[in-house]
Each structure stands twice: as structure tokens, then as C-alpha cells.
Structure 1
């Protein structure tokens, strides 16, 4: 089955609605589904809950949806690169649920695997555990975390075949595979689409069964923190 679509708008057609829950891949500015994010911005879909490791920067990535105030709630691990995120949170305009990075990744993976919840020691004794069930195993206290079940997953991969088998590149593999599995529908954007049979089966990171729609596009290679030496 050919899952390719002409552009991001076509790939998201019929999937977006106000108040929806979106799981977004990426780590910092690496491996973020920037084209799909921009299409969501143009669609003006509002009151979004988004689970993602971070929220981009002020003018790139998920930060563009913050700027237009389309996001109601973020479920994230790290928000330190986005001044608008801080402003909206401190002013009460944005709801925030902090998750440790490993917990967030496992919540996505659990949701994709049909696991309703799991116990972890991470976050016990901190605000992360407030209001959650605690249980003791072998003398250690664990907190119950629930799996993430999103309405839509948006991810970015390096290469795909037309049936949606995905290959990620380096750091972009961190959050994209679990994010892809936990949505009712997954839309992926890639740098290159190749014919079926072109990918080595042992090199495929995410099977196409998880991917419903696919686009190819040109991506901006942003550097989140550029550090250079002074001129000699």
C-alpha cells in the first residue's frame, strides 16, 4: 500500500480537530516534524495537548504553535530554550505537565504497546509523584505512570519506503519511534522516499504498520546552541 501524500496539508486532511491530543517526535531541534507542525499552524487547530520532549524554540518547531497560542497543554521534559513557553506558563496561559525524559519515552512506548500503566522509581518524593498512586515493591517505593494514547502522532525520519517503513538518523531516533506508536494515526515526514525493497530489513527502525500517512520534504538544519571559537 502506497502511503505517500503530496504535501503536509494533504497528509493531515481529516485528522485535525480542536482539543486533540498530539504526540510529537524529536529531541531539541533534531528530528522534529517541522513541516507537519507548520501545517497544523496554518490549519489553526486550537486547544491542543501536545506530548513532546520539549517545545522547540521561539520561532521554530512547536514554538510556532505557542506563538499563535494554539497549544493549551504541554507534556514535556525540558522547556529551557523557549522564552515564550516560560512567559505563557508563568502567566497561567499554558498548562504544563513535567515528565522525566525516560518516563515520557516509556509512557509513549507503553501506549503504543497497549500497556495502560507502569510503575517506576523515577520521580518518587518529588512533585512528579504528587497525586499519583504509590506502591511498594521489594521495599522500594514506585509511582504509577499511565501510557500515552494520542489522537495523532507526528514524527520525522531520515528515509522511508512507500509503505511507511522508517529509518531514523542518529539522535532523531530518540523520541520519534515511541511517539510514532502511541497515536491512533501516525503521519511521518522524511527526507527521502525509496521504492519498496530498497531498505535492508535489518536497518528498519520502525515498521510501516505503525505509519498511516507519509510525506517527503525539504528540512531546515537548525543548530539549537551554536558555539564557536573567537577569531584568532
Structure 2
């Protein structure tokens, strides 16, 4: 039952070229920093990644992208990564853009064993009607486009069919985990991590603090260990990059 591994490098070593990998995080918040670095170091390529976004140019999944390790991205937001845009527009990267709530539900449904579901998101748009560019050719023409989606009426309203997502591997980060893989996330760093974890056939979790099995209050566990196969301890829990730093002048006291 002990699911701890000695290092992130060992935990990712068997992820093969061309694997599908779901990755937690939102922007740079809650990303599995150590596991991404380990995957970069081991040279794995041709990855088909599912994640809310692709990090930034020099951080998170952006490092794998810059090293040409990612062949396809399924994401909902990519606005912070110029290299992402360049590779996509020049035909080097295949991209499936998905409404954010739909992406979340596709991951959750995959983990629940639900093959597909109907949603109102995207009805009447290219999401349902097809034709969204997934891959461009080098000359700028569309090489691969999204297919037409099935739609259906329920109580007079139209819905579009979306297929669920499951992946070979999933990489997540948690604030606390025990040796059985039970995880607790911190505030907004929870974001996509639980959804990603349930969608992976083999889920790797990096944790900032590791505790013995039984130390966590069951009522406080956000993700049961049944969804996690490997646990590694973060090398430097304090290393957390801020995506955008915004500062403001301190307000003066009343009367001054």
C-alpha cells in the first residue's frame, strides 16, 4: 500500500514517447513543477497533453513545449505562451481548444467511466459545427480541423455531445499527501488537480508534505488514494513561481 517513490525522476521514467498525459494546475498555480522538470530531463517526446493551459514561455509545461516534447495540446486557455502560438500557427503543434467548463467535465466524466455527455456549451458555434483548426500546414492552410459534433434536443433546448477524456498518465500537485496516496490541496491550487487525477490510468502526485497513512482526517481528504498510484515529495516546497506579479501603493490612513 505504500505508494511513495524515491524521486520524481524515477516516477516518470516509464512514461513513453507519444503518451497521453493530463497535467494539473491553472496558469502556474498548483502545477506539478518537479514532475514536469523530471519529464523534461528524461527526454520523453511526442507527448499528447491535456491541461487547462500550457504554462508560460519559460515555466511549467512551457518548458516541455520549448524543447519540442509536446505534439498535441488539449486546452482551454493558451494566452500566456508566445511559443505556443508560434508553434500552432506554423503547423508544428496540434491544438484542440475546449471551453473550460467542458474540459473540466470531460476529465471528470473520464474518471467516472462516463464515455460522453451532452452540454449546452458550444451550441451554435464552431465547437459544435466543426471546422476549428486543430493543425495548420506550413503554408498556413488548415491541415486538420475539428469534426462536426452530434447535437440533440432536450426539453426544447439544444445540446452538443462531448466525449470524456482519459489519459495514460496524470501529473498533479498537492499540499499534503499520505503514503497511501490520499491528497489534500491548498485553496486555489486545488483547481484542475482532482479532475486530472481521476482521468489518468496511472496518476503521479507530488506533495509538499508527506504524512503517514492514517494521519489525515478522512473528512479533510480532497482526493482518495484509490486514484493515485505514485507519490513523490517535492524537493523544495517553497519554490513557487508567480505568473503575474501585481503591486499597488499602500493606501494612506484616514485623515492623512
Question: How far apart are 1:229 and its partner, in Å?
Answer: 2.8
Q: 4+ runs of 1 displaced by more than 6 Å?
A: none
Structure 1: how far apart are the matches of 2:183 and 2:233?
12
Structure 2 counterparts to residues 114-153 of structure 1, below 5 A? 114-129=113-128, 130=130, 131-153=148-170
Looking at structure 1, the residues matched to 249 and 189 of structure 2 have their Cα atoms a distance apart, in angstroms, of: 30
Mapping for residues 161-200 of structure 1, pairs under 5 Å: 161-200=178-217
8 A Cα contact 2:47 2:70, kept in partner: yes
Answer whether contact 2:13 2:42 (CA < 8 A) is retained. Answer: no
* 2:107/2:196 contact within 8 Å kept: yes
Residues 17-32 of structure 1: matches in 2 within 5 Å? 17-32=16-31
Q: Does 1:222 find its partner at 2:249?
A: no
When the two structures are aligned, how many residues end up with a matched partner?
A: 231
Unaligned runs of 5+ in 2: 131-147, 252-256
In the alignment, does 2:65 pair up with 1:48?
no
Deviation at 1:231, TM superposition (A): 9.3
Corresponding residue for residue 96 of structure 1:
95
Shift of 1:230: 5.9
- List gaps (5 residues or longer) in structure 1: none
TM-score by length of 1: 0.96
- Alpha-carbon distance in 1 for matches of 2:249, 2:203: 44
Q: Which residue of structure 1 aligns with residue 141 of structure 2?
A: none
Corresponding position of 2:229: 212
How far apart are 1:172 and its partner, in Å? 1.4
Answer with 1 or 2: which has the greater Rg: 2
